[in-house]
A = this chain, B = another copy of it.
Amino acid sequence: MTSELIRVNEIFGPTIQGEGALIGQPTVFVRTGGCDYRCTWCDTLHAVDSAYRDEWCPMTPEAILMQIEILSGGRPLMVSLSGGNPAIQPLGDLIDLGRGEGYRFALETQGSLAKDWFSRLDVLTLSPKPPSSGMATDWQKLAECVEAAGPDTQTVLKVVVFDEADYAYARDVAERYPGLSCYLQPGNHTPPQAETSDSSIDMTGILERMRWLVDRVTKDQWYAATVLPQLHTMLWGNLRGV
């Protein structure tokens, strides 16, 4: 099999998934390098900014799966594909190879690019970016992502919320897709800088914004929403590799 190479920023785990639909579940992360977005509050600049391109290793699907198997001890588990925007990488062959060995695959993307191999994922998290990101949503592209995933993939929505405008955006997204579960996540106001190893976070602020979001949702009687913090940030701060 000849495959295109995948640009990999880091492969780590197993640890637990810290957010969204699979929160608490053991997983190995494959973080790809490169992104078509530049969110103001990006928390993975090392996988986004092309200044770090030298750190992104071109790998074959076979080499990535070998690394996953080493980390997991050869025992299949959920593999989380993230980025950057992993949808810009040719991940179809990796998914097929891994599934053949019993691994499952989840992918998170902003929904700016649809791929036919979304339908071979177990879980697709579409995380369109709210106004505070500075990015504009292409609703047609988002619809194409939902369409590409199809009926055999569990597709869910996740929206990061920093403020009221983001909250209104989240409601809009959820109303467009009443059949999809919608996860709300308070934003991290102190994202890591790519150049520093300082992993400290503002725990008081995180808890405060989480309480605000719970209050906002329940006052609004938006009972179909699920509100979850980034557990990994609470447990390990902005430390990488956990």
Chain A residues close to B by CB (< 8 Å): 13-16, 23-26, 72-73, 75-78, 183, 203, 207, 210-211, 214, 217-218, 221-223, 225-229, 231, 234-236
A contact patch SS: mixed
Q: Does B235 lie within 8 Å of A211, measured CB to CB?
A: yes
Residues of B within 8 A of A236 (CB): 211
Answer whether A16 and B214 are a contact pair too, CB < 8 Å, given A23-B23, A24-B183, A221-B73: yes
Q: Does A207 lie within 8 Å of B235, measured CB to CB?
A: yes
Residues of B within 8 A of A231 (CB): 228-229
Q: A23-B228, A24-B226, A234-B234 are in contact. List 12 more A-B contacts (CB 8 A).
A: A14-B218, A14-B223, A24-B183, A25-B223, A25-B226, A26-B223, A26-B227, A72-B221, A72-B223, A207-B235, A211-B235, A229-B231
Residues of B within 8 A of A24 (CB): 23, 183, 226-228
* Min C-beta distance of A35 to chain B, whole Å: 27
Residues of B within 8 A of A77 (CB): 223
Residue of B nearest to A211 (CB): B235
* Min C-beta distance of A231 to chain B, whole Å: 7
Residues of B within 8 A of A222 (CB): 26
Q: Does A26 lie within 8 Å of B218, measured CB to CB?
A: yes
Q: Does A235 lie within 8 Å of B210, measured CB to CB?
A: yes
* Min C-beta distance of A115 to chain B, whole Å: 26
Residue of B nearest to A25 (CB): B226
Residue of B nearest to A20 (CB): B24
The distance in angstroms between the C-alpha atoms of A221 and B74, with both chains bound, is 10
The distance in angstroms between the C-alpha atoms of A14 and B231, with both chains bound, is 22
